[in-house]
Amino acid sequence: MRRRLHPFVWTLIGFALMLGIALWQADSTHLAVRDLTKEEVSAMIGQRRTFCLQVSKKGCMYCETLRELEGRSNRLDGMVVYELEFPENPSEEDRQWLEDALPHFDYYPALFIVRADEIVCVEVNDLSEFDEEIVPQIIEANGGNHEGQ
């Protein structure tokens, strides 16, 4: 007659499997979207760093769609996009900061490639061209550098 494994052993096996899957997922490198404040963005611009900045607005369905596309693109694995999210109705202070700090843009989301000597707005008005138009800009802004740059 065969002995059955004790339920506690099954629990341990299940836990070990879940832990292994979690560690495997943590090890895989996907696009990292890092939230920033206006002050942090200003500091990074002042340090003349090269980075990709995504400006979005709470409740914006196009912003959500862009995030989903970024999350699904394996070409962006290991890349970093910094995101500055404004409330649904940005304050006068927020609008003034945008006007002073970044080139003009008409729609949310807005994607900027920030370099030491310039800030370029990347058109994001046609998300159907995400892979052809936007992904290469994000890759360029990352310069091949990955997390921890």
- List, for residues 7-61, the tens digit of each pLDDT value: 776 676 766 667 666 555 544 457 788 899 999 999 999 998 889 999 999 999 9
In 47-101, which residue ranges form alpha helices assigned H by DSSP? 61-72, 92-101
Whole-prediction pTM: 0.72
In the numeric block, the tokens 């070990």 are attached to: 16
Angle at CA 79, nearest 5°, toward 76 and 83? 105
